Amino acid sequence: MISAGVGGRQLGGDLAGAAVVVVVIPRRRSRSIQSTAAGEALRCGGGGIKNAWSLQGTRPAILASRSFSSAAKEMTVRDALNSAIDEEMSADPKVFLMGEEVGEYQGAYKITKGLLEKYGPDRVLDTPITEAGFTGIGVGAAYHGLKPIIEFMTFNFSMQAIDHIINSAAKSNYMSAGQISVPIVFRGPNGAAAGVGAQHSQCYASWFASCPGLKVLAPYSSEDARGLMKAAIRDPDPVVFLENELLYGESFPVSAEVLDSSFSLPIGKAKIEREGKDVTITAFSKMVGYALKAAEILSKEGISAEVINLRSIRPLDRATINNSVRKTNRLVTVEEGFPQHGIGAEICASVVEDSFEYLDAAIERIAGADVPMPYAANLERLAVPQVEDIVRAAKRTCYRSSSLAATA
Amino acid sequence: MALSHLSSTRSNRLLRPLAAAASSLCRPISTSTEPLVIETSIPFTPHKCEPPSRSVETNPQELLTFFRDMATMRRMEIAADSLYKAKLIRGFCHLYDGQEAVCVGMEASINKKDCIITAYRDHCTFLGRGGTLLEIFSELMGRQGGCSKGKGGSMHFYKKESGFYGGHGIVGAQVPLGCGLAFAQKYNKDENVTFALYGDGAANQGQLFEALNISALWDLPIILVCENNHYGMGTAEWRAAKSPSYYKRGDYVPGLKVDGMDVLAVKQACKFAKEHVLKNGPIILEMDTYRYHGHSMSDPGSTYRTRDEISGVRQERDPIERVRKLVLGHDLATEKELKDIEKEIRKEVDEAIAKAKVSPMPEPSELFTNVYVKGFGTEVFHS
């Protein structure tokens, strides 16, 4: 008997009506678990299995018996987002989804697949191609107490609606002294994709993150995607949720805790993806993957890099960043967007303000090239940070660079 | 002489029961709710719909309430003018005097679960939704007793519990927002509607048409109300709109043109509109109205229109004068009684201003509150 996923029903057996939870191995193996040849097989029985409860954070209340799996559960970012939205829509009837192609088309990037069928056309609404109009309608619905999730096919199109995001959503709670709150989520892919050209490749993190009243989140892994999306939907404030098209198909391991429907991540907390002691590398979204690869390369050259996945651009987790820099004394900020007035600029300012005397080297800022995104593949590659750029910058902070080549 | 008249009125009030309007030399102000049918000034002009009847059912009590409410609004706006000139009100101050019939007539046909959203010319609309003079003057003067605790200002009044959603500074933005309110009402299966008010200037905004398209597609209970005062700031309607027939601009969406200076016509139109949208989706009401002041206190209002035009409208079409004539014509009150009401109002307004003037400004710590509902306050930057 095989079932998978949280809450699947076991067929037969005497379970006393318990839901079955797939026990998965977290990324760091902390216990040995019996394996079967069939991979994800479940075993249930009244005998109980020793230490099955030791999985951190899992506390399914009604579990009479449990089963476990040997293989790590992996989930794509796409599925992570889909499941998070699904679970929150199921839990709260006020949550609804609106955007272009989110319904019948199953989502331009299939993030909202299956939701129209499950929740119906009253809660999953396909809109015409009129961002200003439907974003305003979404914000108005939030004023009245509903909890909209507004999708922008990409954040480039959010510029058509940006007045509603900033002036109608972000500022309302303040201007009304708390009377009109706006529990809305604006989500969609942000930043560069592949070969889509200048009008479809901009990163809007710094534009939105500069505005008080907004919360701005940028997930990297599937755990981030699930936890931050759930937090965003539950949050009573307007949240800009910056996804990345190229990450949608990537798989990451997820623990049972992450898969639980009550899972969420705190807004405003960064995650230390990799601990290190020589240099701090901050990144968000796709660049976290690049930073981790850079850290691998650096470790072979004797440089131990600490990689911080920002997760939350506004509020920025200044405490985690500064504590890390105070430990390593060196900082490289990485982002895909334009350099001027970018996220790196803010992190740089924060570290200079709070931890200046701890810096042993100038801060290095890695960002996209200060040009509209070109189309040609070679130029596009030059316009976006690559792993080598991060490695070179980290070495420079360690005074180990071999040349004085500029970053761009 | 005035005193003896007063005392005889009072004794009359004691002797005679309050009855329907009856002709008599000396009679108390009528608070009767006996129906009275009055014709609107002109018929309604329809677009793709059957217009409502010109005969409006009202009653003496309602007419006197109209008089009182509009006179209060008028007095309030004139007082705001003086306060602005005395530099007690700062920034922008957009006054509504002349347009009072629109918000008063609207209130008469709806309830507080229906929603109203408007732009920045919102003082009177807010008052109509249940706001108080004290809250208004306090907010205008930036005091903590203001309806937005002093943090909003003239353009950002809100009263969510009475269905008033502001108070918006960006021209046209309130229309999609209003459609969103209607969306929520439909989602929640309330049998309520939303009125989104905008001016002839905003009527050309693209987002209006985007929101109207979606509202018509989804049958949202939204009424778009164009308060056409014929000038978008300094630009006359004929200079801004190829087609200034704003009630027709919805194309496939029905519309109605209404004399916005006739409070009974407004009431009738809004009642009609509410019934219409609950069954058929959006409708546009164009209120033909006029503002005596300029666009805002920074605009004298006479560089793009003649003083003759302004005084002409005041003579011929003033909404308060119309109701005064109706009341006197139907013998519902005497001239003196109406003047007494106005004196009372003046006193109320003056008292509210006096109280607001001495009330405290917000605490400095309020700078950082309400940025978010949940957590974080604001980012603290080193100064």
Tens of pLDDT, residues B179-200 = 999 999 999 999 999 999 999 9
How high is the mean pLDDT of chain A?
A: 87
Looking at the predicted structure, is the pLDDT value of residue A5 above 80?
A: no
Interface confidence, given as ipTM, is 0.90
Partners of B39 in beta bridges: B55
d(CA B214, CA A63): 47
Assigned token pair, B236: 């006359």
pLDDT score of B199:
98
- Which one of the listed residues A87, A88, A100, A131 is annotated catalytic? A131
Across the interface, of B183, B206, B210, the residue whose CB is closest to A141 is: B183
The Cβ-side half-sphere exposure at A256, using a 13 Å CA radius, reads: 24
* B202 or A23, greater pLDDT: B202
One-character DSSP codes across B214-276? HHHHTT--EEEEEEE-SEETTEEHHHH-S---GGGTTTTS-EEEEETT-HHHHHHHHHHHHHH
Question: What mean pLDDT comes out for the span A203-222?
Answer: 98
pLDDT score of B26:
52
CB A10 within 8 A of CB A46: no
Question: What mean pLDDT comes out for the span B154-178?
Answer: 97
Contacts of A235 in chain B (CB under 8 A): 374
d(CA B85, CA B42): 38
Per-residue pLDDT tens over the stretch B268-307: 999 999 999 999 999 999 999 999 999 999 999 999 999 9
How high is the mean pLDDT of chain B?
A: 92
Q: How far B88 CA sits from the closest chain A CA (Å)? A: 20
* A273 or A50, greater pLDDT: A273
3-state secondary structure of A106: coil
Q: How far B217 CA sits from the closest chain A CA (Å)? A: 10
* A69 or A13, greater pLDDT: A69
Q: What sign has the CA pseudo-torsion B141, B147, B153, B155? A: negative
Contacts of A146 in chain B (CB under 8 A): 183-184, 187-188
pLDDT score of B375:
73
Question: What mean pLDDT comes out for the span A42-51?
Answer: 37
pLDDT score of A405:
53
Per-residue pLDDT tens over the stretch A15-31: 344 443 334 434 443 33
Looking at the predicted structure, is the pLDDT value of residue A2 above 70?
A: no
Of A99, A104, A32, which is closest to residue A70 (Cα–Cα)? A32
* A5 or A273, greater pLDDT: A273
Q: Which residues, 6+ apart, have CB-to-CB distance to A177 below 8 Å?
A: B148, B149, B150, B151, B152, B369, B370
Q: Which residues, 6+ apart, have CB-to-CB distance to B351 below 8 Å?
A: none
3-state secondary structure of B284: strand
Assigned token pair, A168: 């109608």
Across the interface, of A137, A145, A236, the residue whose CB is closest to B374 is: A236
Contacts of B165 in chain A (CB under 8 A): 140, 143-144, 180
Q: Which of A4-8, A103-107, A140-144, A226-230 has the lowest mean pLDDT?
A: A4-8
d(CA A122, CA A103): 11
CB B168 within 8 A of CB B181: no
Q: Hey, are the CB atoms on B149 and A177 less than 8 Å from each other?
A: yes
Per-residue pLDDT tens over the stretch A128-168: 999 999 999 999 999 999 999 999 999 999 999 999 999 99
Task: Work out the percent of chain A whose per-residue pLDDT is above 90.
Answer: 80
Per-residue pLDDT tens over the stretch A295-319: 999 999 999 999 999 999 999 999 9
Q: How far B319 CA sits from the closest chain A CA (Å)? A: 31
- Which one of the listed residues A40, A200, A257, A296 is annotated catalytic? A200
CB A249 within 8 A of CB A77: yes
pLDDT score of A401:
72
Radius of gyration of chain B (CA): 22
Task: Decide if A131 is catalytic.
Answer: yes
Q: Hey, are the CB atoms on A167 and B149 less than 8 Å from each other?
A: no
Task: Decide if A341 is catalytic.
Answer: no
Q: Hey, are the CB atoms on A178 and B180 less than 8 Å from each other?
A: no
Per-residue pLDDT tens over the stretch B308-343: 999 999 999 999 999 999 999 999 999 999 999 999
Contacts of A128 in chain B (CB under 8 A): 210, 213-214, 217
d(CA A102, CA A109): 9
pLDDT score of A283:
98
Q: Which long-range contacts (CB under 8 A, 24 or more apart) does A26-30 make?
A: A26/A55, A26/A56, A26/A72, A26/A253, A26/A255, A27/A72, A27/A253, A27/A255
pLDDT score of B374:
83
Per-residue pLDDT tens over the stretch A324-335: 999 999 999 999
Q: How far A120 CA sits from the closest chain B CA (Å)? A: 12
3-state secondary structure of A229: helix
pLDDT band of residue A72 (cuts 50, 70, 90) is confident
pLDDT band of residue B48 (cuts 50, 70, 90) is very high
d(CA A321, CA A284): 13
Question: What mean pLDDT comes out for the span B130-136?
Answer: 98
Per-residue pLDDT tens over the stretch A84-113: 999 999 999 999 999 999 999 999 999 999
One-character DSSP codes across A42-81? ----TT--TTGGGSTT---TT-SS-EE-SSPPEEEHHHHH
Per-residue H/E/C for B97-149: CCCHHHHHHHHHHCCCCCEEECCCCCHHHHHHCCCCHHHHHHHHCCCCCCCCC
pLDDT score of B14:
47
CB A70 within 8 A of CB A33: yes
Nearest CA in chain B to A96: B187
The Cβ-side half-sphere exposure at B81, using a 13 Å CA radius, reads: 16
Q: Hey, are the CB atoms on A136 and B207 less than 8 Å from each other?
A: yes
CB A306 within 8 A of CB A276: yes
